[in-house]
Amino acid sequence: METEFNIESFDIKLDTNVIGRNFIYSEEVDSTNSTLLNKSFGNINGTTLLAEKQTKGRGRKDRQWYSARGQNLTFSILLTDKKYFNKNFNLINFAAALAVAMSIENLYQLKIELKWPNDVLIGGKKVAGVLIESSSKGDKLERVVIGIGFNVNQTSFQGNFNLPPSSLKIEVGQSIEREMLLAEFLNVFEEILENVVDNPAWILREWKERCRMLGEKISITEDDKVKYGIFDDIDDDGFLILKTEKGLEKIYYGDVSLV
């Protein structure tokens, strides 16, 4: 069921200094990520754009991200503060997925699983995904946009999915207040984001604690190539280390499955 997003009740619960302080609510955009990547949208660090409907919502690998109008949380956060953009840029992805996990844990005490590189699962089903995109000038990053697709109150899903989808409403067994969840996410995310600069090891440790595939036999599909091995570790930059007969191999992207 569609509900109206109440900006006032969201604002009361928002407890951040920067993230989400410039908050933009939109009925419909093509994609919140594309919109915030566009310079004409301003460059205030922490700007958060929530859309009730995306006509061209995107997932990783140019997959479509479909989300029913007014039921979920599809939003993006703009980062322009360069302190986050050094060598640990990839960690922002982990920080975002971890913030989704921790916000659900704080509010609903559910057990969350994180799947490399950016999926949030409950009971093996995907409830949220993260898509990070950036724009550069020359070789300098200018804007980083963190897009989150969070299945909140949607209870039926049509289409083909890489992972079976679910939503918080299905998993908790009751309708979820989107305002409280978004505020909690942004509160947690702002705190975690500081660790990207100050304590990246903490982010990776917390992320790994929620990754069920570590140490397991996995396959990794990269375009049409499949690799097999043991999920040995995540390195300091957030890349997957695969143990194969030939030794350790660093994996930069791909879809991971248990075998």
- Summarize as ranges the residues that interact with ligand BTN (CB under 6 A): 31-33, 54, 57-60, 63, 65, 74-76, 118-119, 129-131, 147-149
Computed on alpha carbons and rounded to an integer, the radius of gyration of the chain in Å comes to 18
- Which residue spans within the chain are E strands per DSSP? 23-29, 48-54, 73-79, 113-115, 119-122, 125-137, 140-150, 217-222, 225-234, 240-244, 247-251, 255-258
Name the residue whose CB lies closest to ligand BTN.
129
Looking at the Cβ atoms of 91 and 132, the one nearer to ligand BTN is: 132
For the bound state, the minimum distance from the C-beta of residue 149 to ligand BTN, rounded and expressed in Å, comes to 3
For the bound state, the minimum distance from the C-beta of residue 58 to ligand BTN, rounded and expressed in Å, comes to 4
For the bound state, the minimum distance from the C-beta of residue 119 to ligand BTN, rounded and expressed in Å, comes to 6
Looking at the Cβ atoms of 222 and 236, the one nearer to ligand BTN is: 222
For the bound state, the minimum distance from the C-beta of residue 15 to ligand BTN, rounded and expressed in Å, comes to 22
Looking at the Cβ atoms of 60 and 69, the one nearer to ligand BTN is: 60
Sheet holding 48-54, edge to edge: 23-29, 48-54, 73-79, 140-150, 125-137, 119-122, 113-115
Looking at the Cβ atoms of 97 and 229, the one nearer to ligand BTN is: 97
For the bound state, the minimum distance from the C-beta of residue 54 to ligand BTN, rounded and expressed in Å, comes to 6
Rounded Cα–Cα distance for residues 165 and 207 (Å):
21
Looking at the Cβ atoms of 75 and 85, the one nearer to ligand BTN is: 75
